[in-house]
Amino acid sequence: MIDASIYRSWSHRLSLPLITISSILLPHAAYMYARSSSHREASATEEAEAAQGCSMGLSLCSQQRSPPKQEIATRDLPLPNTAASHQGRGEGNKQQMATTVPAIRSNEELKDVLRKAKEPNSNLVVLEFTAPWSEPCKFMRPALEKVASDFKDQADFYTLDVEQFKTFARNTRVEALPTFLLVRKTILERVISVSKDELQRSIAKHISRARIIAIDQGN
């Protein structure tokens, strides 16, 4: 509400009647109130969307949320400036046409994958966030296929389109492509890299830890 003293002050300075000042200020006040209400409704919608995304089955997702206005995967990782990188781009484009790493295409599929990752003695789950327009993702595709083949008995590999799974990407703090999530019961590690060796080392590390834990529990 606008104080009547403001009306009198403006009326005195402008030599206008009080009712004229009211006709000027009241519509502005109504507009600002409506704008504020609209902002509150938009914030509530974003919070509801984030809450829905947190029901995917990961305990970490239910505990941590990024700011609602955070952009998702707004940048690609830089590619190595070598001849091999250019060769990798071409191989990635060809490999995308006949990939052995399945793409998750619905929330139900994602929930099922995460549910299995929480089961005892489950395989490590490797989720790659990708996008059709991402050159680093195309560059990494042959490497991902090779790593998936090497660890086919110990890990399950999937890709996720970051544009389709925006809420899940926001909750898991995906800000660059490609991002790999290593999951078993919860998120064990994020690998943000275009290095095959780095991804391979991280996967091997968590598989070895799982074996050690299983042996200790058996004893």
Query: Edge-to-edge, what's the strand order for the sheet holding 179-184?
Result: 103-104, 155-161, 124-130, 179-184, 186-192
Cα(215)–Cα(207) distance, integer angstroms: 13
* Residue tagged 């490999």 (tokens): 95
Q: What is the pLDDT of residue 49?
A: 44
pLDDT greater at residue 158 or residue 65: 158
pLDDT greater at residue 206 or residue 51: 206
For the chain, the average pLDDT equals 73
- Using alpha carbons, select from 98, 11, 108 the residue that is nearest to residue 56: 108
- State the Rg of the chain over Cα: 26
User: Buried (b) or exposed (e) across 99-137, using 16+ Cβ within 10 A?
Assistant: eebeebeebeebeebbeebeeeeebbbbbbbbbeebbbb
Q: What is the pLDDT of residue 100?
A: 85
Say what the alpha-carbon torsion angle 162, 118, 140, 96 is, to the nearest 10 degrees.
-70
pLDDT tens per residue across span 107-137: 999 999 999 999 988 999 999 999 999 999 9
Confidence tier at 76 by pLDDT (50, 70, 90)? confident
Residue 181 φ/ψ, nearest 5 degrees: -105, 125
Q: What is the pLDDT of residue 68?
A: 42
Cα(12)–Cα(8) distance, integer angstroms: 6
pLDDT tens per residue across span 161-201: 999 999 999 999 999 999 999 999 999 999 999 999 999 99
Tokens (6 digits) for 46:
């974003």
pLDDT greater at residue 139 or residue 11: 139
Q: HSE-up of 148 (CA within 13 Å, CB side)?
A: 19
